[in-house]
Amino acid sequence: MKTIQDINFEGKKALIRVDFNVPLDENFNVTDATRIQAAKPTIIKILEDGGAAVLMSHLGRPKGAEDKFSLKHIAEKVSEIIGVSVKFVANCVGAEAEEAAANLQAGEVLLLENLRFHGEEKAGDVAFAEQLSKLGDVYVNDAFGTAHRAHASTTIVAQFFPENKCFGALLAQEIVSLKKILEEGEKPVLAILGGAKVSSKITVIENILDKVDHLIIGGGMSFTFIKAQGGKIGMSICEDDKQELALDILKQAKEKGVQVHIPVDVIAADDFSNDANTQVCDIYDIPDGWEGVDAGPKTREMFDKVVNESKTILWNGPLGVFEMEAFANGTIALGNSIANATKNGTFSLVGGGDSVAAVKQFGFADKVSYVSTGGGAMLESLEGKTLPGIEAILK
């Protein structure tokens, strides 16, 4: 696996695919700069070698060139984080972009305009990718969040750099972390899958059953498993058409010797609001008119024990409706358990939109081993797929 550490960038221009798809407020201020921070080590290594960096990214889902999705709005924030004044050019291809890249000196950084202002980016257009390739001597992919897309800048452009392409520090770290879970994990290996739907995690479950010793199923998806086994779940969320599948997953797990842990009690609410009345219920016996919204006290205790006996942990999905303060305690308790296990030497990887949001919100980001930056890309990796953005560098 060729990374930026294998290349000396002195006198070279690196064309770097970063993921600067960051949230902005109504005044175009960046409200979460995590993704910019994550790209910093790659950019700094290139500049310190005596190279220059040309940054390309998308932002949002523009329909053509829309000002509100212009990357000019984030140039100042990128400058502030990297500690270098970033130049901006109002296109990502063509004469203007080529001139700006040609004039770039060692130690300088150029930010290109939003790739998705051109329909050719998402279409994976070869001619567009070739135009991008003129802006650098070495292609660096450091955007895990888009590595599952065969877009021009994430995959197609790599073919114009047959010898001069590599992974950035962030993408390399993502690959190594996922490998630790899926191939090299010290046993016992535990996967924690939460969130609302079984359907969105089916292929993940099927792929990881051969690789884990324990599987915790929590959050809304647990009710499909409970109902399939004859439990009463009240008004709780449930995918009725996935009950057979849930039973099949339990059967497969048993055959493979994987211990499945499903909640035993829940916090049930009589309304989907912070002010609802709540009670602790046996998960197999939730009264009519009530719905499970968080893991109960016995479940938290049970999960804590499993977590602290594990040496490798993957966490994907919350245990309850953590966005509401009243129903966040199960997810917080799980976060504390994982933080404690990590402190004692366990490798823990958190990935997937909601669990990443939860670890940030509750202050666990620096208490776990690694927080993945790619939601969809992370899930596809866990499903056992080779991501096109990664494959293009390995070719």
Alpha carbon distance 372, 170 (integer Å): 9
Query: 61: annotated binding-site residue?
Result: yes
116 is in an annotated binding site: yes
111: CB partners within 8 A, 6+ apart: 55, 71, 74, 75, 78, 86, 87, 88, 89
Q: Is 344 annotated as a binding residue?
A: no
Known binder of ligand: residue 35?
Answer: yes
Residue 58 is labelled as binding a ligand: yes
**Residues 6 or more apart from 211 whose CB is under 8 A from it?**
181, 182, 183, 185, 189
Pair 127, 152: CB distance under 8 Å: no
Q: Which of 197, 232, 311, 385 is catalytic?
A: 197
Known binding residue 151? Answer is: no
Is 376 one of the annotated active-site residues of the chain?
Answer: yes
Options 107, 367, 376, 385, the catalytic residue = 376
CA distances from 262 to 193, 226, 288, 390 (A): 10, 8, 21, 35
Catalytic residue among 12, 13, 17, 35: 35
164 labelled ligand-binding: no
The answer to whether residue 187 is catalytic is: no
Query: Is 199 a known ligand-binding residue?
Result: no
Q: Was 379 annotated as part of a binding site?
A: no
Assign 179 to helix, strand or coil: helix
Q: Is 353 flagged in the annotation as binding?
A: yes
Complete DSSP assignment for 86-149: EEEES-SSSHHHHHHHHTPPTT-EEEE--GGGSHHHHHT-HHHHHHHHTT-SEEEE--GGGTTS
Is 11 annotated in the active site? Answer: no
Residue 144 in marked binding region: no
Active site residue 353: yes
353, 367, 384, 385: which is the annotated catalytic residue?
353
Binding site for (2R)-3-phosphoglycerate, by residue number, is 35, 116, 149
Annotated binding residues, written as ranges, equal 19-21, 35, 58-61, 116, 149, 201, 292, 323, 352-355
Task: Report the binding-site residues for ATP.
Answer: 201, 292, 323, 352-355
Which residues carry out catalysis? 35, 197, 353, 376
